[in-house]
Amino acid sequence: MKIKQLETTIERQAEEEYQASQVQSTKDELENQKFITQYVACMAGIELPEEETEEVNYVQNLE
Protein backbone atom coordinates (compact mmCIF):
# COMPACT_ATOMS: atom_id res chain seq x y z
CA MET A 1 0.00 0.00 0.00
CA LYS A 2 2.81 2.44 0.83
CA ILE A 3 4.52 1.68 -2.49
CA LYS A 4 1.35 2.59 -4.42
CA GLN A 5 1.03 5.81 -2.43
CA LEU A 6 4.68 6.68 -3.09
CA GLU A 7 4.24 6.09 -6.84
CA THR A 8 1.25 8.43 -6.85
CA THR A 9 3.22 11.07 -4.99
CA ILE A 10 6.12 10.79 -7.45
CA GLU A 11 3.73 11.02 -10.40
CA ARG A 12 2.04 14.06 -8.87
CA GLN A 13 5.38 15.73 -8.21
CA ALA A 14 6.52 15.04 -11.77
CA GLU A 15 3.27 16.49 -13.14
CA GLU A 16 3.62 19.61 -10.98
CA GLU A 17 7.22 20.09 -12.09
CA TYR A 18 6.21 19.66 -15.73
CA GLN A 19 3.41 22.20 -15.37
CA ALA A 20 5.77 24.64 -13.64
CA SER A 21 8.29 24.27 -16.47
CA GLN A 22 5.52 24.87 -19.03
CA VAL A 23 4.45 28.03 -17.19
CA GLN A 24 8.04 29.27 -17.06
CA SER A 25 8.53 28.46 -20.74
CA THR A 26 5.39 30.42 -21.66
CA LYS A 27 6.47 33.31 -19.45
CA ASP A 28 9.91 33.37 -21.10
CA GLU A 29 8.34 33.28 -24.58
CA LEU A 30 6.07 36.22 -23.73
CA GLU A 31 9.03 38.21 -22.42
CA ASN A 32 10.90 37.48 -25.68
CA GLN A 33 7.91 38.59 -27.76
CA LYS A 34 7.61 41.77 -25.70
CA PHE A 35 11.31 42.55 -26.22
CA ILE A 36 11.10 41.94 -29.98
CA THR A 37 7.97 44.11 -30.23
CA GLN A 38 9.67 46.94 -28.36
CA TYR A 39 12.81 46.62 -30.50
CA VAL A 40 10.93 46.62 -33.80
CA ALA A 41 8.77 49.55 -32.69
CA CYS A 42 11.87 51.49 -31.68
CA MET A 43 13.58 50.78 -35.01
CA ALA A 44 10.43 51.85 -36.89
CA GLY A 45 10.05 55.02 -34.81
CA ILE A 46 6.75 53.91 -33.32
CA GLU A 47 6.06 54.96 -29.76
CA LEU A 48 4.31 52.23 -27.82
CA PRO A 49 1.86 53.07 -25.04
CA GLU A 50 3.06 52.61 -21.48
CA GLU A 51 2.56 49.15 -20.09
CA GLU A 52 -0.45 48.94 -17.81
CA THR A 53 -0.28 47.02 -14.58
CA GLU A 54 -3.08 45.20 -12.83
CA GLU A 55 -3.33 48.01 -10.29
CA VAL A 56 -4.14 50.47 -13.09
CA ASN A 57 -6.86 48.20 -14.47
CA TYR A 58 -8.31 47.35 -11.08
CA VAL A 59 -11.63 49.04 -10.30
CA GLN A 60 -12.67 48.95 -6.69
CA ASN A 61 -16.26 48.00 -5.92
CA LEU A 62 -17.56 50.80 -3.69
CA GLU A 63 -20.94 49.27 -2.87
Q: Is 53 a domain residue?
A: no
Instruction: Tell me if 37 sits within 8 A of 48, measured CB to CB.
Output: yes
pLDDT at 44: 94
- pLDDT higher than threshold 60 for residue 56: no
**Does residue 58 fall inside a structural domain?**
no
Range of the domain at 19: 2-44
Residue 60 lies in a domain: no
Looking at residue 36, its pLDDT comes to 96
Q: What are 2-48's pLDDT values in tens digits?
A: 667 777 788 999 999 999 999 999 999 999 999 999 999 999 999 98
Residue 57 pLDDT level (bands cut at 50, 70, 90):
low
For residue 2, the model assigns a pLDDT of: 66
Is 32 contained in some domain? yes
Residue 57 lies inside a defined structural domain of this protein:
no
> Buried b vs exposed e over 16-47: b needs ≥16 C-beta within 10 Å?
eeeeeeeeeeeeeeeeeeeeeeeeeeeeeeee
CA 37, distance to chain mean position in Å, is 17
